[in-house]
Structure formats: C-alpha cells, structure tokens
Amino acid sequence: MSADLLQFLVAGVTVGACYGLVGVGFSIIYNASQVINFAQGEFVMIAGLGTTSLLAAGMPYAVAIALGVLITVLVGVALEALAIAPARQSSVVTLIIITVGASIFLRGAAELVWGRNFRSLPPFSGAEPIALGGAVIQPQSLWVLGGTAISVVLLSLFFAATRSGKAMLATACNPNVALLLGIDTRAVLRLSFAIAALLGGIAGVLIAPISLTYTDVGVMLGLKGFCAAILGGLGNPFGAVVGGLIVGVTEALTAGYLSSAYKDAVAFVMILVVLIVMPRGLFGAKAGERV
C-alpha cells in the first residue's frame, strides 16, 4: 500500500469516526420521534468551544473536557424541553423545522459568546506524530478512534442490557405499544436528546484538536453526520458509524486523488445515490419490520 493511500485512509477514518458519532445522534432521536434533529452539528460546536473557554479559564484539561461535554448534554436536554416538548402535538415536519430554527439560534448565541474567531484545543496527549508504514498518525487520531470505539461499545451495552435501552428500542419499534407497556415515551425522547448531545459533544472535543473549532463548525459536521446516518440506514445507530467511516474515507480519497475542492460535494453525491438506489441505506430496517 502506498504511503499516500495509507495517509488518506488514516485521515478519512479519523474524521469519519466523528461523522459516525454525529450520525448515531441523528438515528437515536429519529428512533424516538421520527424527527431529524438539524441542531445535531451544534452539539459538536458547543462542546468544542465550551471546552476552549473552560481551559482558558484555568481548569485542568480533563476537567474542562468533561464539563464541556456535560454542558452540551444540558443544551441537548434544554433543546428538547424548551423547543420540542411544547410542540410535541405538531407534525414531524414542524418539529424538524423547529430543529433547523434551533440550530440557527444556537449558532447565533454561540457567536455572541465566542465571536467569529477560530479556536483550537491542544492534543490530548503529545503532538509527536507516530510513523506507520510511511504515513504519519497524529496521536489525537488514536484518541478519536478509541473514543468512538468506546462510545459505540457502551451504547450497544446500553441497548442490549439496560431497561432504559430496551424501552428506547420498544419506542422506536412501536410508540403506541410502548405506552401500553407503561413506557413514558416522552422521557424516552428526552433521554434520546441527552444521548445525541453526549455523542455530538464527545465528537466535538475529540475532533477540535485536529480540525479547529468555530461557531459554524457544526454546519458541515452535522450535514456529514446526517449523510452517515442515511447511508447506514436511518434508525440504525450502528449503521451510522459504518456510514460515517465510509463518508470520511471517500471524502479523504477524493480530496487526495482528485481535488480538495470536491471534498464536501462527495458526501452529498453519496446521499443522493443512496436515496435513489437504496433508500433504506446499508443496514436500514426492512419495510415489513416496522409495525
């Protein structure tokens, strides 16, 4: 394998893992409510910028990261409580438009707090690149991959082994039956926003040392995460991770071998092809399985 190719793959997998985490958030909220939360990318932005401020305020790095992610979760819960819950009788399309509005609001609010400057976080551990078969890997890339892997494993344990996880699955499968079983589906929606914000926040702090962070960073990351969720099959959280890796790698290869001008177009061309050729994505539920 050529060193170039390896380098592109490393870059693609790293950024793809973040798309994947964002995409999982889309899928989880979609499962609980059929809503596409277009404020998903803003979770990434808030965690990144929040952590830069906490770090600047003199907190130890690990504490700043934890608090940055925690603030993001609180924003996610507040978004559900203040913008989605009051309108829950409305149609899904209305709720989706509300999330678009929330996304614009959050970016505006962030600009008031942090201005329009680019900021960066230091790498979690050292900046000394690791050589691997002619390519170099930033240590932060390993943090991104490790953090994503741990998040995905914990999430699958949550779904497989906890009562709340099963309640979320039941709600995704059939919300009316979930109510008849005594499941508080509104609490499930609240929890889904918290988890989506948590995953977006984790992606935000993992990627900030590599890609810089600024108030509009969530726009592209959010859309790429959406592509990842669609490609993996909307409603299948683990499909979104695979979708994210595919989007990330394809993007990196396009930027490397064609031109970086096409980089952002790749994801959207992929989404069009997926929607036309296999609208349920790679791992989407078969039509018959939804009751």
Partner 1 sequence: MWSPPTSAREAAIAEPLLNVAELSSGYGPVRALWDVSVRIEEGELVTLVGGNGAGKTTLLRTLSGLLPASAGTIRFAGEDITRLPAHLRARRGIVQVPEGRQVLAPMTVEDNLRLGGYARPQGEIGAALAEMYALFNDLRLRRRDIAGHLSGGQQQMLAIARGLMARPRVLLLDEPSMGLSPILVDEVFATVERLRASGTTIFLVEQNAYRALSIADRGYVLEAGRIILEGPAASLMVNDRVKEAYLGL
- Rule CB under 8 A: which residues touch partner 1? 163, 166-167, 169-170, 173-174, 176-185, 285, 288-289, 291
Minimum gap (Å) between residue 173 Cβ and partner 1:
5
In the bound state with partner 1, the residue whose beta carbon lies nearer, of 180 and 277, is 180
Calculate the alpha carbon distances from 187 to 43, 85, 109, 289 in Å: 20, 10, 27, 24
- Which lies closer to partner 1 via its Cβ, residue 57 or residue 180? 180
Nearest residue (CB) to partner 1, 127 versus 157: 157
Q: Is 8 helix (H, G, I), strand (E, B) or coil?
A: helix
Q: How far is the CB of 26 from partner 1 (least distance, A)?
A: 19
Nearer to partner 1, 90 or 125 (CB): 90
Minimum distance of partner 1 from residue 161's CB (angstroms): 11
Place of tokens 């505006």: 108
CB 24 within 8 A of CB 199: yes
Q: What share of the chain is helix, strand, coil (3-state, %, to 5)?
A: 75, 5, 20
- 120 vs 164 by CB, closer to partner 1: 164
Q: How far is the CB of 93 from partner 1 (least distance, A)?
A: 18
Closest CA to 43 of 66, 22, 27: 22
Q: What's the CA angle centered on 150, arms 198 and 145, to 5 degrees?
A: 95
Kindly state the smallest distance separating residue 240's Cβ from partner 1, in Å: 17
Least distance between partner 1 and beta carbon 189 (Å): 13
C-beta of 179 vs 282, nearer to partner 1? 179
**How far is 102 from 81, CA to CA, in rounded Å?**
12
Phi, psi of 34 (to 5 degrees): 65, 10
The CA distance from 103 to 40, in Å, is 8
